[in-house]
A and B are shown apart, each in its own frame.
Chain A
Amino acid sequence: MPRSVAVSLQAEIALRLGTLALDAGLAVDDGEVVCLLGPNGAGKTTLLRALAGLSRIDRGRVMLDGEVLDDPGAGRHVPPEHRRIGVMFQEYLLFPHLSALENVAFGLRARGVARHEARRRAAGWLERVGLAGQQGARPRALSGGQAQRVALARALVMEPRLLLLDEPLAALDAGARAALRRDLRRHLSSYDGSCLIVTHDPLEAMTLAERLVVIEDGAVTQTGSPEQVRAHPRSRYVAELVGLNLFRGALDGSAVVLPSGERIVTAEHDLAFREVFAVIHPRVVALYRERPEGSPRNVWPGVAEGLEVDGDRVRVQVSGAVPLMAEVTPAAVAALRLDDGGPLWASVKATEVDVYPA
């Protein structure tokens, strides 16, 4: 069945909460799964609560399926109970005095569905999330993973047009997380409406999202597919997240001139932009004890500041005029005695530098 490309959610939201000044816009297509990724304190949960109608916005507009939910200018604010928006909270917030079945049936009963019918539908959903035997259990008797699934079922049983998930896997231990990530993918793929997942975990974002929206300090810094964001980060935060060296500078011929005056030689010609990002993968950074004579156009002096073992690779933080993260083998670390902290040289071939407009 062809997917509609109509835009489901259109939101421009500006509000102040404490020290946070949120001013962000985002759109979610019908049926799309979008991940809102950002560091703690970036405003992700604030944005989510505003979309759910739990917080008032100062300026902006929120529209879902053509209906205006929030418009402070026109004095319009639709309360959460009248929005077709489902929320799965980070702490799940299962009602402690109700059983799992009653929790899932709650929304249906609140909307006027008869008790018997509501319980039947709730039981169906509990079975879909694999908790058929836990219907009568109270939330405190459930494990973290089970509670998460009940919370998900409780939101999905309402068939919302937009599903908001706040850090769905954050409260789980690593073991439960992988299994539930797979389950979540499965449920989301069979779910009709649009979905916005708020997370600070890049793995969650990369594996669950069709599109990423990166938010930092209350503003959107980047949007794109996971592949696009991974290949072309546009902020320090994203670059660190995906493990790339990111530089921003002015293009001068084939070289990128950094604010410090240092130049990164690239293999690009005739690019029409002036302000650019340059990305260097740690893998292509070569380290030497003596200044190397060879083809690489980029050779910089530096000092090894920190070493971090990552599986069978070692990440070396090199400080200097051009600070870099290099990825080398443990054998190289031993051979060059990199843990000495002495001076060294880093080199990168011009052809390995990726450049794109800022």
Chain B
Amino acid sequence: MEPEPFAGQAPGPGPVVDGRPAVARRRSLRRAPLGFTPLAVVALAFLTLPVIGLVVRAPWREIPHDLVQPGVLTALRLSLVCSVAAVALSCVVGVPLAWVFARVPFPGRTVARAVVTLPMVMPPVVGGVALLLAFGRFGLVGEWLYRWFGITIPFSTTAAILAETFVAMPFLVVTVEAGLRSLGQRYEDAASTLGAGRWTTFRRVTLPLVAPTLGAGAALCWARALGEFGATITFAGDLPGSTQTMPLAVYVALQNDQGAAIALSLVMLAVSLAVLVALRGHWFGGH
């Protein structure tokens, strides 16, 4: 680290960030290795241009009209229903899983954890195929569901929800597990010595303390579920009204009704930005 002329002094004029006054930070600007600056500009441009393009080229005057088309509204409503259901499902079974991962050192935990994070990196369409082979009419579980109960899951709204849950739940599990680990067992120990049973401890101590992390995990989970395409179209199909969620509707609309496609895209962009803003403290501030 270069010698810092202002380090250790009382904060001078200007905002203090990283414990050093702004004056000091300016003095210690590092010089980038040769070629880094232009390359960094290219990367920044590449990542921001598409978003700028979408916003600039969108036919803003027609957007309100395009948004209220029945097809668009249907896709919007369906996406909302499916993604919220996916988050709810993820919370109900994912939080207990995260708790077990964080607190119970069972044999094979490392392997289990690796398997659970697989849907995060697996190509979504592969996820869809896998879901078909598990829950389809000739699938591992689906065969019995059909034979005994006459239930067919693929190409239904249920399938869309399951597809979104499959790709999104790991985000929740991983986030909440990390939160529980960093919280530690200390407060739970204290609660149990005060006479609180396992459920009471979870409800009154663990959950409130891990709530911010749970919120962040749920937001990530929701964003992922909302944007899912590959697994949904493979496992649930593209049926307007029952499985054609917003991403699918955009893809289909791009062929004949660009206005609808762009309108839906803008809606999803707005959601993404909202999630980013909501999670900025979690990702960039560091709890």
Contact = CB atoms under 8 A, between A and B. Distances in A.
Interface of A: 52-54, 79-83, 85-87, 89, 91, 93, 95-97, 106-107, 109-111, 154-155, 158
B204 A110 contact: yes
Interface string B181-200: 00000110111111111001
A110 B191 contact: yes
Contacts of A111: 195
B189 A93 contact: yes
Interface of B: 186-187, 189-197, 200, 204-205, 208-209
28 contacts: A54-B189, A54-B192, A80-B189, A80-B193, A81-B192, A81-B194, A82-B195, A85-B193, A87-B190, A87-B193, A89-B186, A89-B189, A91-B186, A95-B187, A95-B190, A95-B191, A95-B205, A95-B209, A97-B208, A97-B209, A107-B194, A107-B196, A110-B194, A110-B195, A110-B196, A111-B195, A155-B193, A155-B194
B197 A110 contact: yes
B234 to A, nearest CB: 43
Contact of B192 (A80, A91, A96, A155): A80
Given A80-B189, A93-B189, A106 B194 contact: yes
A79 B189 CA distance: 11
| Residue of B190, B196, B200, B209 with most partner-chain A CB within 10 A | B190
A167 B145 CA distance: 59
Contact of B187 (A52, A53, A93, A158): A93
| Residue of B193, B195, B197, B208 with most partner-chain A CB within 10 A | B193
Nearest to B197: A81
Q: State the main secondary structure of chain B at its contact with A.
A: helix
A53 B192 CA distance: 9
Contact of A81 (B186, B187, B195, B204): B195
A87 B189 CA distance: 10
Nearest to A52: B193
| Residue of A52, A80, A82 with most partner-chain B CB within 10 A | A80
A109 B197 CA distance: 11
B204 A106 contact: yes
A95 B209 CA distance: 9
Contacts of A93: 186-187, 189-190
A83 B195 CA distance: 8
B209 A106 contact: no
B190 to A, nearest CB: 4
A154 B194 contact: yes
A54 B191 CA distance: 11
Given A80-B192, A95-B205, 13 more contacts: A52-B193, A54-B193, A80-B189, A81-B192, A81-B193, A81-B197, A96-B209, A106-B194, A106-B196, A106-B204, A110-B194, A110-B196, A110-B204
A86 B204 contact: no
A110 B193 contact: no
A91 B208 CA distance: 20
B183 to A, nearest CB: 10
A173 B192 CA distance: 29
Contacts of A86: 193-194
Top 3 closest pairs, chain A to chain B, by CB:
A107-B194, A110-B196, A93-B190
